[in-house]
Copies of this chain bind each other. A is one copy, B any other.
């Protein structure tokens, strides 16, 4: 073909990708071309708008480094991450719902013993976290690997501080013979997603706030089961109805009841009020 115009360009590009050897890649690229062209035909961008889009994508890529992933943030704020998550986790009744991984997960964090006190020096309300990991329709899962991570009292994750090395408010535990894990940390607070990059500028231009309701992240892996990536949200938070990344599910909202000073789990005696979170998790068996 030697005459590409508005009427035939889409089918010409789709046909060109018909030579793709891998059938899955062929399917993805041909679908991408059809949907991307449909978007362009729908909005009919001016040349200046197209240039602005190229500039936005370029700036988003250039914002990324080993501690910042602006394209994941873009995916999150456009609801794409949550949609991909939902498609990949059509779960049986009784399984703990999943939600987005977010940009602050770190692989291969060192394992700590149950009962550990995270953030010994961090400001914030002390929080005791306990939970049991089970199989949907089955018994406790011993030896499951439980990664947890959350923001500090200022709304930042450890990896957002250029001058600190993880882990802080981030740890890996292993469930005991009854599938249980427990540790001390501080109560998370609502916080904004990073707003100093192109995605922050997009949210601002679109009249959207950047806030996420307070939550703890969990990633729970057990042999023979689908790895569970989820959050537990703090009930009563102002942003539960408008999470900037669309990550909230009703079943993942929990009370974090306030406790008076005095004796507390692990033999601690608390001098200030503290909170507790008891939340169990049910994983889907594979196969």
Which A residues lie at the B interface, using CB under 8 A?
1-6, 9-10, 12-13, 16-17, 19-22, 25-29, 31-33, 35-47, 49-50, 54, 57-64, 69, 71-72, 75, 78-88, 90, 205-208, 240-243, 246-250, 253
Minimum C-beta distance from A63 to chain B (A): 8
* Residues B61 and A49 in contact, CB atoms below 8 Å apart: no
Q: State the CA gap A63–B62 with chains docked (Å).
A: 9
* Residues A40 and B6 in contact, CB atoms below 8 Å apart: no
Residues of chain B within 8 A (CB-CB) of A54 are 69, 71-72, 75
Within the complex, which residue of B20, B78, B242, B253 is in contact with A36, where a contact is CB–CB below 8 Å?
B78
Minimum C-beta distance from A174 to chain B (A): 23
Minimum C-beta distance from A196 to chain B (A): 16
Residues of chain B within 8 A (CB-CB) of A3 are 248-250
Within the complex, which residue of B29, B31, B42, B62 is in contact with A42, where a contact is CB–CB below 8 Å?
B31
Within the complex, which residue of B29, B37, B63, B206 is in contact with A83, where a contact is CB–CB below 8 Å?
B37
Interface of chain A: mostly helix, strand, loop or mixed: helix
* Residues B207 and A250 in contact, CB atoms below 8 Å apart: no
Within the complex, which residue of B4, B25, B60, B207 is in contact with A20, where a contact is CB–CB below 8 Å?
B207
Give 12 new A-B contacts, CB below 8 A, not counting A13-B246, A31-B43, A58-B64: A4-B86, A4-B248, A10-B83, A20-B205, A20-B206, A21-B207, A35-B38, A36-B39, A41-B87, A44-B87, A47-B84, A62-B62
Count identical subunits in the complex: 2
Closest residue of chain B to A32 (Cβ to Cβ) is: B39
Residues of chain B within 8 A (CB-CB) of A9 are 79, 82-83, 86, 246
Closest residue of chain B to A79 (Cβ to Cβ) is: B13
Q: State the CA gap A233–B43 with chains docked (Å).
A: 31
Q: State the CA gap A43–B26 with chains docked (Å).
A: 11
Q: State the CA gap A95–B17 with chains docked (Å).
A: 32
Closest residue of chain B to A12 (Cβ to Cβ) is: B246
Within the complex, which residue of B19, B37, B71, B79 is in contact with A58, where a contact is CB–CB below 8 Å?
B71
* Residues A46 and B88 in contact, CB atoms below 8 Å apart: yes
